[in-house]
Every structure is written in C-alpha cells, then in structure tokens.
Chain A
Amino acid sequence: MTVQKRLLGWLADAALVLYFVFALFPIAWMVILSLKPANQLFSTYFSFSPTLDGYRTVLGDSEGIPFVRFFVNSLVVSVGAVLLSLLVGLPAAYASARWRFKGSENLMFTLLSFRFAPELTVIIPLFVLYQKLGLFDTYVGMVWVLQLVTLPLIVWIMRSYFADLTPELEQAALLDGYSRKQAFVKVALPLVKPGVAAVSLLAFIFAWNNFVFPLILTSSEAQTVTVGALSFLGGDRPKYNLTAAAALVSVVPPLLLALTIQRYLVRGLSFGAVKS
C-alpha cells in the first residue's frame, strides 16, 4: 500500500459519498419539510420544532384535496392492472418460451414496442374514446390503459424465467400422466414463483408511479396520488410542508416494495436483457 494508492482510495470513497449526498439529500429534505410547522417554513432551514400537523392536514383531506381517496385509488388501479396482466401474461409468456410458432416473435416485439411508445399516442385517442364509452375517470378505464405499462414488463420478464427453466421436469410430469395444464400450474409455475412475485411488485411500482394516464384520463373519481400530490403545488404560495408530506406518503409503497425485490431488479429493469 503506497501513500499514493491510499490517497486515491480515499478520493474514490469521497466521490462516492458525494454522489450519495446528492442522491439522498432531497429525500431527507422532504422529511424535514413535511415535519415543519407552517410558521417555521422559511424562517429557519435546519432548526425547527417537529410536528405531524402537515401529515394530519394531508391525510385529513382538510385542504379540499381527498388525498386518502387518491391513495386508495392508486392501490386499486395498480393491483387491478397487475392482476389482469398476470392472468393473460403468464400463459402467453409460457407459450412463447416453450414453443416457437408463427407470429410469436412478432407479438412479443409488438408488446415490447409499447414500452417505448410515446404514451400520448394512445392516450389522446383514448381521451376521446373514453368520453364516448363512459370509461373516463373510472377504475376500469385506468386498469385497461395501465396494461401498456404492466403487460410488456410481465410477459417479457416471465418469458426469460420460463426459458431458463429446463423443460425436462415438465416432460417428466407429462409422462406421469399430468395434463399440459397441470404441468404448467403444478410444476413450472411453482419453480418460477420468486420471479412471479418480483415481477408483480415491479409492475405494481411502475403502475403506481404512473402520472400521465391519470392526469388525462381521470378527473376526480379515479384520480391517483401522483396527480393528487401535484395539486398541493397549486396556488400562489405553495404550502411546502403539505406538498412534502403528500410527496412522502405517495412514495412509501414503491420504496418499501423496491427494497424487498433488490435481487431481481437488474433483470426486471432491463426486460430480461441483463441477468445478474
């Protein structure tokens, strides 16, 4: 260990810490802002007497913004979107991993292209269509459009998990007199269970974090937290403590879930392109 080498090691660690200050300070600052009483918002920065008033106001709907309801809406449409995607996506992923057939690759790439399509290409026609069909500002309408986010993710990642699975086990089950369906449900599915759990949570996070769909396709009944949090910024003097509290409450579910699926994130975020 020369002096020079040790110095470089120190510098590298310092650079790393610097990046993490940049990454974590905004979150810490939101916690501070959300705990500040309204009269100390701008008088001091780092010294204040903490209070939960901001959270009480946000969760008590006292600003005329029904935040708890938006939170429940986010929960309902995100869970609904993930369940629907699992229901149609798992069989499709299994079929495309196990059999090569006409049109399967085209279908897969069509699905993948949704991931990169500008959302408004689909949303603006839907905005017109939903008004006609009565789906505007409804759970059903939101669950349907969120398939754009959740379905490609679930199909592509599950396909890579099924492809990694050796087919021998299912073939053995077939020889034992299982039907194809039983082999899928009783042999293949249990083996990829951790993958299914992880991809479901990741899809939930992306559905929860979505903003552009509820912004355009809901107005009040089915509005979600991402749009709701932005409403606190309205007015000439945005109420910083309330905005911060609303922002924090709305990031709690995704952050908690993300920490539980760390091991699966690389495959999930890259659509199966990179396996850790």
Chain B
Amino acid sequence: MGWRPALRPYLLIVPALLLTCGILYPFGLGLYYTLFDFSASKPQPDLVRLENYTTVFTQEAFWNSAWVTVLYAVGAAVVETVLGVSVALLLHRSSVIGRVLEKILILPLMIAPVIAAIIWKLMLQPSVGVVNHLLRPFGLGGVQWTDTPTGALLSSIAVDVWVYTPFVAILALAGLRSLPTSPFEAAAVDGAGWWYTFRRLTLPMLWPYVLVAVIFRFMDSLKVFDIIYALTEGGPGDSTVVLQIRAYLEAIRFQRYSFGISYTIVLWAVVYLAAMVLVKHLGKIQRKAAEVK
C-alpha cells in the first residue's frame, strides 16, 4: 500500500503523456528529416546535416517571407488591440445599446478563419463585390483589393482584424469589470479629468488583461495560414507568402519535405523566443498593476 499514493498522479497522467508523445513523435521526426534532403523525388535521402538551414537563411525568398510575416503579425496585433480595447471601453459605458451588442460581439470569432476569408473574398471582388459597389457613390468603385501587393496584405490583415478583434474585446471587458472602484472614486473626488484617470488608473490596471490578449494574437498571427491560403494563396507574386504558406508550398506543392519542415522549424524557434520575451514582460506588468491597485 505504501508506494501507491505516490504513484497515483503518474498513473492518472500516463494516458495524456502517451498522447503527448504521439504528437511529439512527428515533431521529432520532422526535426530529424531536416538533417536530410528528403523529397518525393528522393525517397532514399542523404544526410546533409545543417545544409537545409543554411539554404533557408541565404534565400531571398525566406527573408521576404519573414518580413511579410512580421508585417502581418505586428499589423494585426496592433490594430486588434487598439480596436478591441476601444470596443471594450465603449461597451463598458454600459449604455442600453452596449448590453444588447455585447451578446453578439463574439459571432465573428466563432467563424472558422478560412470561412471568414471566403466571405471577404466574395465581398472584395473588384468588379462585382459588394464593397466596391458600396464605395462607388464615393468615387472609389475600382479598388483592386487583393490584386495589388499592398492591397492583398492589408486585406488579409483586415480579415484577421474582423475575426479576432472580439477576442481582445472580451478579455479587455473582463478586465474592466474586475477593476476595483475605490481608486476611481478617489480620483473623481479629486476632480481628475477623464484622460488623466484613463492614463493613470484604467490603463495600468487593465494592461495585464490586454497583454494576455496581445500575446495570444501576436503568436497566432506569426503562424497565420488559413486566412492567407483562402484569400490570396500568397499572391499577387509573393507579396503575402507568410512563413507557413511558404512551408506549405515547399513541402506539399513541390514535395520537398525536408526543406519545407526546415521553414517551420525556423518559425517555431521564432515563436518560441517571442513567447519567452512576452511572458517575461507580462510578469513585470502584472507586478506593476498590483502596485497601482
């Protein structure tokens, strides 16, 4: 009997552990593949050690993809944060309208990103799409939304913003509702203006909540795939070929498996580093927010 209680948590965790190993195995296999030149045309691959990685880093295509990915991720995360927090603040004013609207806030968030991209693709079609139809009276009926490099990137960010702004908004709203009331009452007694209260009280205390949302959004948009695949397939040219799309083209379309996986391993390392930096920062911010409270 003596050894059993100590063993119990392990027994409970074993099934999950086995399943985790089942997911880690392909990941390890992928790492192993990157040391070879494995492709459909070379089913008996040779060991090339780190050659795949040196090729990746010396390719202009990689740096283009990395640049596009960063633009997309920063653009999406910044717009979603500003818009999401604004929407949360407006809803929190708790007017009658706000309470009604809050119920439907999450609808775009529950639509599959790929479906969202399909919806916007239909709407943004230059000649028959409804967006240009609505813009025509303003003399803007001919915008080539997804047919120009800049337009395609902005359009795909717009779809990301459409889907994920509610994510930031509901986390920020949860934060707003958990703020203590006494500092605000004190500020009101002292006759502090709205802007001062927002800058000195609301924002520092709200920031931990917002930062959780920002971390999720930034890390997710670094590995964006669905939206770009359905909206632009990386085009026009290679103006929206983010890293996961590039990996897909290499591995699945051109069947250069090893090389495609190398791309995703590099992306994975970047995501991992970004996460470490952001989570460290989050700890600092949380301690600061606790001081304000």
Contacts and interface: CB of A to CB of B under 8 A. Distances in A.
Interface stretch (B53-61, B73-81, B262-270): B262-270
B171 to A, nearest CB: 6
Given A26-B116, A209-B115, 8 more contacts: A42-B128, A110-B24, A118-B264, A120-B225, A127-B252, A151-B20, A233-B118, A274-B212
Interface string B231-254: 000000000000110011001100
Contacts of B8: 95, 99, 180
Q: Determine the interface band of chain B, counting residues with CB < 8 A from chain A.
A: 35 or more
Given A91-B15, A92-B13, A147-B19, A209 B27 contact: no
Contacts of B222: 118
Interface string A88-111: 110110111011010010010011
A205 interface: yes
A61 interface: no
Contacts of A262: 103, 106
A40 interface: no
A250 interface: yes
A89 B95 CA distance: 41
A275 B177 CA distance: 11
B166 A111 contact: no
B264 A233 contact: no
A251 B108 CA distance: 10
Contact of A29 (B12, B90, B123, B162): B123
Nearest to A44: B133
Contacts of B48: none
A33 B216 contact: no
A89 B16 contact: yes
Given A121-B268, A128-B257, A266-B171, A92 B15 contact: yes
B277 interface: no
A77 interface: no
- Kindly name the residue among B116, B122, B244 whose own CB sees the greatest number of chain A CB atoms within 10 A: B122
Contact of B244 (A120, A147, A254): A120
Given A13-B95, A24-B107, A265-B170, A96 B114 contact: no
A91 B112 CA distance: 30
B111 interface: yes
Contact of B19 (A88, A122, A180): A88
Interface in A243-274: 243-244, 247, 250-251, 254-255, 257-259, 262, 265-266, 269-270, 273-274
B270 to A, nearest CB: 9
A265 B171 CA distance: 9
Nearest to B134: A45
B112 A13 contact: no
Interface of B: 8-10, 12-13, 15-20, 22-24, 26-27, 29-30, 33, 83, 86-87, 90-91, 93, 95, 97-98, 101, 103-116, 118-123, 128, 130, 133, 162, 165-167, 170-171, 174-175, 177-178, 209, 212-213, 216, 219-220, 222-223, 225-226, 229-230, 243-244, 247-248, 251-252, 257, 260-261, 263-265, 267-268, 271-272, 275
- Kindly name the residue among B16, B120, B219, B260 whose own CB sees the greatest number of chain A CB atoms within 10 A: B16
12 contacts: A16-B87, A19-B90, A23-B166, A33-B122, A45-B130, A113-B272, A117-B271, A118-B222, A125-B257, A247-B119, A250-B112, A254-B111
Contacts of B244: 118-120
Contacts of A226: 112, 114-115
User: Would you call the interface of chain A mostly helix, strand, loop, or mixed?
Assistant: helix
A230 B110 contact: no
B12 A92 contact: yes
B26 A255 contact: no
Contact of B16 (A128, A151, A275): A151
B265 A96 contact: no
A50 B223 CA distance: 40
Given A19-B87, A92-B12, A119-B244, A251 B115 contact: yes
Contacts of B23: 114, 122, 147-148
A99 B9 CA distance: 7
Given A24-B104, A274-B212, A117 B268 contact: yes
A52 interface: no
A273 B212 CA distance: 7
Nearest to B15: A88
A185 interface: no
A215 B223 CA distance: 16
A240 B118 CA distance: 10
Nearest to B274: A116
